[in-house]
């Protein structure tokens, strides 16, 4: 995981030098240049400043800051759209297969550029995440839940603040998992199972005859461990590296009163338990470098988690045990990993495929033909690979 050190920023407030803690969960570097802006600042002016790399500390009405951020987003989208139209007019074959890895890298670059521009609008918060802005709501509970206690003033981007407020709503209302007739409650910075096509795969796969002990590696909200416990596995050990995920999984397990599940912080496998009959894992699906702690559940640099899992799993499995690996083939469609790579890693790990269950995602982006990655997303298949030690 990325270790974030305390960082501070300085700026001038009408000749008065000011200093505050820099808070950026999206890993934006502390701003080098800060100007004060307010309700009189036009969206065009703010957009120009943000694109030049100047950060803007908001002094006006809280709700107007939200509107300004929306106006910046619209301008950014128009600029992105113009670039796409220009590429289309110049007859560049945007979705040609040979260009697909570039397409993914361009997509990530565009995301990074968008994050950098939209993170230029800043708020100053006093200790305990209190804002003195006109019409500012109370958000210290949401910020404390997301970022932890803070006993000093900070500067934070309005975008990161919105992330914390959005997460607080998810945490309160939960993500309904219809096929299980329950909801899971994601915490800030924890993989939210909003597209849960793999839940049905987990319900359809046949449990091994002996299923006293299972591991859920990289448990996130605890969802897979919860499914196993609900299906009658007597004891489940769920691991994660991310402390936020561990707290979240514990919270969900407690809400559902499932004493069969124990949560452990571990890099992959639990420490020194007996061998498991079943080991499940839903690793991050895309081999790419995470740019902030928030991306560790989605991107796995060089498939390190996937490969580490496959390399170690047989040592933790009973001779008749099974591995259920949940993986989409999006990385294959984006030419970031090949099917041969994956099958080769199974063989190197002493595993063979017992069977595979497939499903096709139906989430919004897989149907959106304006998405630059539409060709890959619309062809994506999510699988549960049932693996066993090679006979």
> Could you give the C-alpha distances from 139 to 14, 21, 66, 186, 353, in angstroms and in order?
27, 18, 14, 18, 49
Q: Decide whether 139 or 191 has the Cβ nearer to ligand SAM.
A: 191
Q: What kind and span of H or E run contains 256?
A: helix 243-256
Q: Give the residue, chosen from 229, 297, 313, 317, that forms a contact with ligand SAM under the rule CB under 6 A.
A: 297
Q: Is 305 in the site for ligand SAM (CB under 6 A)?
A: yes
Evaluate whether 55 touches 37 at the Cβ level (below 8 Å).
no
CA distance 285 to 326: 9
Q: Is 161 in the site for ligand SAM (CB under 6 A)?
A: no
Q: Is 239 in the site for ligand SAM (CB under 6 A)?
A: yes
- Minimal distance in Å, beta carbon 204 to ligand SAM? 16
> Could you give the C-alpha distances from 329 to 23, 86, 217, 338, 385, in angstroms and in order?
35, 31, 20, 9, 12
- Dihedral of the CA atoms 168, 254, 236, 381 (nearest 10)? -30
DSSP codes, 213-249: EEEEES-TTTHHHHHHHHTT-SEEEEEES-HHHHHHH
Positions in 201-220 near ligand SAM (CB under 6 A): 217-220
Q: Is 241 in the site for ligand SAM (CB under 6 A)?
A: yes
Q: Decide whether 65 or 175 has the Cβ nearer to ligand SAM.
A: 175
Q: Decide whether 31 or 290 has the Cβ nearer to ligand SAM.
A: 290
Q: Is 363 in the site for ligand SAM (CB under 6 A)?
A: no
- Minimal distance in Å, beta carbon 284 to ligand SAM? 5
CA distance 39 to 22: 24
- Minimal distance in Å, beta carbon 379 to ligand SAM? 20
CA distance 84 to 141: 41
Q: Which stretch binds ligand SAM (CB under 6 A): 97-105, 168-176, 235-243, 347-355?
A: 235-243
Q: Decide whether 242 or 349 has the Cβ nearer to ligand SAM.
A: 242
Structure tokens at 82: 């113009």
Tell me the site size for ligand SAM, rule CB under 6 A: 22
Q: Decide whether 124 or 240 has the Cβ nearer to ligand SAM.
A: 240
Number of alpha carbons in the 13 Å side-chain half-sphere of residue 143: 26
Positions in 264-293 near ligand SAM (CB under 6 A): 267-268, 282-284
Q: Give the residue, chosen from 46, 167, 229, 245, that forms a contact with ligand SAM under the rule CB under 6 A.
A: 245
Burial class of residue 341, CB neighbours in 10 A (0-12, 13-18, 19+): middle
Q: Is 56 in the site for ligand SAM (CB under 6 A)?
A: no
Q: Residue numbers of the site for ligand SAM (CB under 6 A)?
A: 191, 193, 217-221, 223-224, 239-242, 245, 267-268, 282-284, 296-297, 305
């Amino acid at each position: 995981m990325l270790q974030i050190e305390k960082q501070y920023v300085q700026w001038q407030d009408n000749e008065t030098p000011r200093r505050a803690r820099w808070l950026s969960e999206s890993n934006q570097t502390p701003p080098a240049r800060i100007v004060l802006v307010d309700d009189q600042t036009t969206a065009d002016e703010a957009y120009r400043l943000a694109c030049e790399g100047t950060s803007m500390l908001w002094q006006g009405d809280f709700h107007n800051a939200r509107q300004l951020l929306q106006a910046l987003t619209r301008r950014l989208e128009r600029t992105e759209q113009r670039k796409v139209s220009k590429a289309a007019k110049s007859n560049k074959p945007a979705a040609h297969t040979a260009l697909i890895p570039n397409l993914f890298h361009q997509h990530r670059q565009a995301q990074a550029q968008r994050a950098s521009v939209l993170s230029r609008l800043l708020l100053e918060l006093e200790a305990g995440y209190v804002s003195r802005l006109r019409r500012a709501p109370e958000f210290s509970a949401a910020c404390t839940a997301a970022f932890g206690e803070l006993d000093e003033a900070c500067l934070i981007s309005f975008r990161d603040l919105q992330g914390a407020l959005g997460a607080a709503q998810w945490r309160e209302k939960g993500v309904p998992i219809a096929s299980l007739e329950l909801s899971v409650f994601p915490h800030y910075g924890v993989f939210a199972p909003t597209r849960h096509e793999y839940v049905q795969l987990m319900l359809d796969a046949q449990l091994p005859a002996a299923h006293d002990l299972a591991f859920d590696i990289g448990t996130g909200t605890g969802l897979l461990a919860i499914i196993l416990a609900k299906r009658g596995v007597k004891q489940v050990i769920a691991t994660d590296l991310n402390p936020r995920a561990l707290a979240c999984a514990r919270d969900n397990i407690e809400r559902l009163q499932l004493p069969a599940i124990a949560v452990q912080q571990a890099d992959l496998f639990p420490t020194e338990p007996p061998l498991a009959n079943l080991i499940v894992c839903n690793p991050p699906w895309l081999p790419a470098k995470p740019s902030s702690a928030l991306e560790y559940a989605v991107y796995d640099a060089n498939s390190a988690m996937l490969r580490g899992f496959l390399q170690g799993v047989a040592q933790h499995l009973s001779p008749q045990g099974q591995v259920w690996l949940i993986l989409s083939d999006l990385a294959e469609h984006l030419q970031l990993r090949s099917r041969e790579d994956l099958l080769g890693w199974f063989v190197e790990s002493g595993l063979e495929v017992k069977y595979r269950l497939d499903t096709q995602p139906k989430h919004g982006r897989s149907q959106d033909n304006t998405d630059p990655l539409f060709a890959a997303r619309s062809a994506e298949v999510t699988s549960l690979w049932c693996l066993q030690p090679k006979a």
